[in-house]
Amino acid sequence: MEATYYLYTIKTNFMQFHNYAYLGIDKSSKSAFVVDPSWDISQILEILDKHEAKLGKVLLTHSHLDHTNMVTKLVRKFNLDVYMSEEEIEYYKYNCINLKRIHDLEVISVGKTKIKCLVTPGHTKGSTCYWSGDNLFTGDTIFIEGCGICNIQGGSSEEMYHSIHRLKNIIPLDIGVYSGHSFGEEPGKDMNYLNKKNIYFQIDDINHFVKYRDRKNFKGIFNFK
């Protein structure tokens, strides 16, 4: 099936944080959405201007500052809507202008583009992945090389185990994974690649998973590339 939107990968950084945001422009309407705008919006504005597109929606995978710090600037510029899971909003008391609560399996429309919301707790209480066409935007739930840390407020290795197995069960193998960070692998590798290379996808025992995810000697959690 032909894609309904153009996808642009946007990499920004501040100190040791290297973040990925994703801009989608619906082909039929030139309406656009952005996932997790961070640190700098100049690339977003440049792409929108080049394609004469209008940004209408911000999709937030979770509430951590490195994924949300450009939201207010974009809302003030475009008066757009911001989407985050109800679980995330309630637990962390996140608030911003034009904030909309979403629920698991809810579908957001941008022109002819349909985006399915999948609430996948583990990294945070209400972390959410967004599935649209051939692409899955995962924030800090899963990376190409691993999964998000769980030993923080609202995090849970048990929930991360269930979220990963849910994604394994419902996301087709040819869908590309676009995460909020990279440890060296470029975003866009498909689920089949993660099944073979991502160790967290290969652990079928929840106790083993929790013990490994919560191990004390884990290093390099912020060695973003």
pLDDT at 83 over 80: yes
User: What digits encode the pLDDT tens for the residues 18-42?
Assistant: 899 999 999 999 999 999 999 999 9
Give the number of domains in the chain: 1
pLDDT at 221 over 80: no
Single out the residue of 97, 109, 153 nearest to residue 127, CA to CA: 153
CATH number for 27: 3.60.15.10
pLDDT at 208 over 80: yes
Q: Spell out the alpha helix ranges (H) of the chain.
A: 42-51, 65-68, 71-78, 86-92, 157-170, 191-197, 206-213
pLDDT computed for residue 220 by the predictor: 58
Tell me whether residue 20 is in a domain. Answer: yes
pLDDT computed for residue 182 by the predictor: 86
Tell me whether residue 219 is in a domain. Answer: no
- CA-angle at 178, arms to 95 and 55, nearest 5°: 50
Which residues is 86 bridged to in the sheet? none
User: What digits encode the pLDDT tens for the residues 151-165?
Assistant: 999 999 999 999 999
Tell me whether residue 222 is in a domain. Answer: no
Give CA–CA dist 120/165, Å, rounded: 10
Q: Which residue has the higher pLDDT, 70 or 223?
A: 70
Tell me whether residue 205 is in a domain. Answer: yes
Q: Spell out the alpha helix ranges (H) of 79-172.
A: 86-92, 157-170
Tell me whether residue 41 is in a domain. Answer: yes
pLDDT computed for residue 1 by the predictor: 55
pLDDT computed for residue 218 by the predictor: 67
Sequence length of the chain is: 225
The edge-to-edge listing of strands for the beta sheet with 128-132 is 107-110, 113-119, 128-132, 135-139, 176-179
Tell me whether residue 225 is in a domain. Answer: no
> What integer is the mean pLDDT of 74-83?
96
> What integer is the mean pLDDT of 69-87?
96
Which residues is 99 bridged to in the sheet? 82
Tell me whether residue 221 is in a domain. Answer: no
Band the pLDDT of 15: cuts 50, 70, 90. confident
Cβ(159)–Cβ(119) under 8 Å?
A: no
- CA atoms lying within 13 Å on the CB side of residue 18: 14
pLDDT at 109 over 60: yes
Cβ(57)–Cβ(33) under 8 Å?
A: yes
pLDDT at 196 over 60: yes
For 71, the domain range is 5-213
Band the pLDDT of 219: cuts 50, 70, 90. low
Cβ(171)–Cβ(131) under 8 Å?
A: yes
User: What digits encode the pLDDT tens for the residues 48-57?
Assistant: 999 999 999 9
User: What digits encode the pLDDT tens for the residues 117-168?
Assistant: 999 999 999 999 999 999 999 999 999 999 999 999 999 999 999 999 999 9
pLDDT at 174 over 80: yes
Cβ(176)–Cβ(213) under 8 Å?
A: no
pLDDT computed for residue 213 by the predictor: 94
The residue written with tokens 């990968």 in the block is 9
**Residue 69 neighbours by CB distance under 10 Å:** 18
pLDDT at 223 over 70: no
